[in-house]
């Protein structure tokens, strides 16, 4: 940022209602670190007033967290990654995460092949963890571009999980951090649900800035994120959000995501269907 104009920050990827106090505390730590690194225009609070896709195109965007799929597809001209979190959750590793393929406890399917002709729920077609990994996993099993009888576009991981639980869908891919956070803070929402399997790991959801930001500001923001990840005053917030640490990253780490899409296309399965 230049001048004194206030920037925009949104951290909506894991901002469940139950976690908003922790998200605000985590942002306060990041904001302190940004100011300590000399970053201008740091806002006092997060922008929760608009859809994140709108915020990501705001010229005043200072910092956000995004999914790797939009980073490499619809927002490749807008966002660039600066740091990647590690999450303390099953299915996660340093800077990486997987998706859990979730079905009901009483579903007879023993593997993904057992879901042929059934209904899938996904948060949206631009999601790595909810759509791209599931498309990739079933592409070798599909015939004539189809595997499922129907795809329910739920709009959010939490709603995809609810669709499986209530029988409106038979399977959903839910990212490991979301699954762990819901399991901890809303355990009733996973009752009657089991993990059928896990997707291959991919880079976790990055913290990102506007593409074209000057190199000095980018470096200061990256340094601030690492500073915040070591701030003892933010330890409780990080623990609540399952953030075990942060490390530098760039866009090249996310090349696996468009390659997953292209591999499915080569198998004749371009869309989750």
Q: What is the pLDDT of residues 77-103, one digit of tens each?
A: 999 999 999 999 999 999 999 999 999
Query: What gap in Å lies between CA 190 and CA 183, rounded to an integer?
Result: 6
pLDDT classification of 40: cutoffs 50, 70, 90: very high
pLDDT in tens, 113-129: 999 999 999 999 999 99
pLDDT score at 3 = 46
Per-residue confidence (pLDDT) for residue 112, from 0 to 100: 98
Position 231 scores a pLDDT of 98
Please say whether the structural domain 93-201+259-266 has been given the CATH code 3.30.450.20: no
Stretch 194-214: mean pLDDT? 97
Whole-model pTM over 0.85:
yes
pLDDT of residue 74: 97
CA distance 150 to 143: 14
- Does 2 score more than 90 pLDDT? no
Query: What confidence category does residue 5 fall into, taking pLDDT thresholds of 50, 70 and 90?
Result: confident
CATH topology of domain 8-87+203-252: D-Maltodextrin-Binding Protein; domain 2 (3.40.190)
Mean pLDDT for all residues in the chain = 97
Q: Any idea where the domains of the chain sit in the sequence?
A: 8-87+203-252, 93-201+259-266
Arithmetic mean of pLDDT, 30-57: 96
How far is residue 16's CA from residue 26's CA, in Å, rounded to a whole number? 14
Q: What are the distances in angstroms from CA 69 to CA 81, 84, 150, 202, 226? A: 12, 14, 22, 11, 23
Q: What pLDDT does residue 4 have?
A: 55
pLDDT tens profile 125-166: 999 999 999 999 999 999 999 999 999 999 999 999 999 999
Assess whether the region 8-87+203-252 and the region 93-201+259-266 belong to the same CATH fold: yes
């Amino acid at each position: 940022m230049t001048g004194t104009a206030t920037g925009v920050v949104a951290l909506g990827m894991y901002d469940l209602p139950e976690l908003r106090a922790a998200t605000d505390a985590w942002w306060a730590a990041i904001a302190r670190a940004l100011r300590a690194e000399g970053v201008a225009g740091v806002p006092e609070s997060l922008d929760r007033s608009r859809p994140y896709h709108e915020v990501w195109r705001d010229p005043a965007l200072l910092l956000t967290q995004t999914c790797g799929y939009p980073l490499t597809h619809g927002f490749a001209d807008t966002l660039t990654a600066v740091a990647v979190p590690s999450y303390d959750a099953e299915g996660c590793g340093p800077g990486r995460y997987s998706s859990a393929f979730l079905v009901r406890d009483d579903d007879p399917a023993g593997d993904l092949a057992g879901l042929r002709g059934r209904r899938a729920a996904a948060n949206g077609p631009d999601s790595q963890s909810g759509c791209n990994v599931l498309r990739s996993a079933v592409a070798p099993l599909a015939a004539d571009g189809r595997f499922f009888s129907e795809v329910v576009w739920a709009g959010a991981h939490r709603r995809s999980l609810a669709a499986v639980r209530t029988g409106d869908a038979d399977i959903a891919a839910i990212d490991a951090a979301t699954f762990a956070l819901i399991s901890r803070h809303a355990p009733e929402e996973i009752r009657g649900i089991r993990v059928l399997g896990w997707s291959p790991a991919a880079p976790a959801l990055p913290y990102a800035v506007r593409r074209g930001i000057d190199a000095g500001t980018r470096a200061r923001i990256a340094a601030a994120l690492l500073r915040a990840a070591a701030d003892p005053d933010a330890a409780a917030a990080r623990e609540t959000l399952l953030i075990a640490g942060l490390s530098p990253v760039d866009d090249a780490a996310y090349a696996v995501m468009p390659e997953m899409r292209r591999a499915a296309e080569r198998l004749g399965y371009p869309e989750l269907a």
